[in-house]
Amino acid sequence: MVLLTGASGFLGKIIYKEFSPNIITLGRSSISDICSDLSTGIPVLRKFDLVIHVAGKAHSVPKTDLEKQQFYDINVGGTLNLLKGLEDSVLPKMFVFISSVSVYGQEIGKSINENHSLDAKDPYGLSKIEAEKLILDWCKANNVICTILRLPLLVGENPPGNLGAMINAIKKGYYFNIGGGIAKKSMVLAQDVASFIPKVAIIGGVYNLTDGYHPDFNELSTAISKNIHKKQPYNLPLLIAKIMGFLGDFLGDKSPINSSKLKKITSDLTFDDTKARERLGWNPRGVLEYLKSNRL
């Protein structure tokens, strides 16, 4: 039997379908099989062979000290309470934690692998680092097979985050690429991650997962536009974008773009998944092919 936290989220729903019907959900919602808020209390659990911990506060920019604290309370405190609940029950054989490439703390870089230092400084990245450490130490102490999956941008139907915002902007006709949209970003299909969990859970380890191609913004926007029958997005010359970013530096939070954001948008950020490919035969589908032919 499998215990899944975060079943109501984008990836959680897909993982639930992958393991159904042999799965029990834990969450704050009354429709969860086990209704429990991990950020505030220790759940009462029974025996599970595999625990998949997806629940957490998603990546966002905190605007207040309270929002910063929520990353710790939910991502770290919630993880600690889950582990305590498992200790009070029968220990599982396997534990899988869904982490993020944000732990590396990089906004620019190519082929970053699992040996890279964990340099995150933002509340989200720091909370993921601490949660990873808690789980690694706990699994080692309790002889539980531990798997940590560090994921980049997730792709699928109705995706959240930046990809979802891009799709929505293209649908409404106000998306544009900057400087030709040549910056490459790592992505992975959520369904491929879900399908990989049964295979990796019995082995354990820390792995980056990507589609291996790392499409650029121009390729992404072109594939999405053709899929939903919209015109190819416009391109904003880099020089004009830099001027806009320079002006945004003076406007502060009121500006949709500044020099820092522009550098991030126009720079490559890719991750290396060689470890998963060589050790476990990770062979995912390409994100672009999915975007060209599937419902968004």
Q: Tens of pLDDT along 181-204? A: 999 999 999 999 999 999 999 999
Across 240-244, average pLDDT: 90
| CB under 8 A, 24+ apart: contacts of 255-258 | none
Residue 64 above 80 pLDDT? no
Share of the chain above pLDDT 70, in %: 98
Give the domains, in start order, of the chain with CATH numbers.
2-151 (3.40.50.720), 157-186+211-296 (3.90.25.10)
Tokens coding 294: 């599937």
DSSP secondary structure of 26-54: EESSTTSSEE--TTT-PPP----SEEEE-
Residue 62 above 70 pLDDT? no
Separation CA 15–CA 17 (nearest Å): 5
pLDDT tier for residue 257 given thresholds of 50, 70 and 90 = confident
Separation CA 181–CA 233 (nearest Å): 10
Which single residue is written with the structure tokens 């980056």?
Answer: 208
Q: End-to-end distance of the chain based on CA atoms, in angstroms?
A: 32
Which single residue is written with the structure tokens 């984008």?
Answer: 10
97: Cα separation from own chain's centroid: 11
Residue 148 above 90 pLDDT? yes
Separation CA 3–CA 149 (nearest Å): 17
Share of the chain above pLDDT 90, in %: 83
Separation CA 98–CA 76 (nearest Å): 13
Residue 3 above 80 pLDDT? yes
13-22, 58-67, 276-285: range with lowest mean pLDDT: 58-67
Across 106-121, average pLDDT: 97
Separation CA 131–CA 58 (nearest Å): 14
Residue 209 above 80 pLDDT? yes
Across 55-64, average pLDDT: 79
pTM here is: 0.95
Residue 269 above 70 pLDDT? yes
Count of Cβ atoms closer than 10 Å to residue 153 Cβ = 22
| CB under 8 A, 24+ apart: contacts of 292-296 | 292/223, 292/226, 292/227, 293/227, 294/157, 294/227, 295/157, 296/157, 296/158, 296/159, 296/167, 296/224, 296/227, 296/228
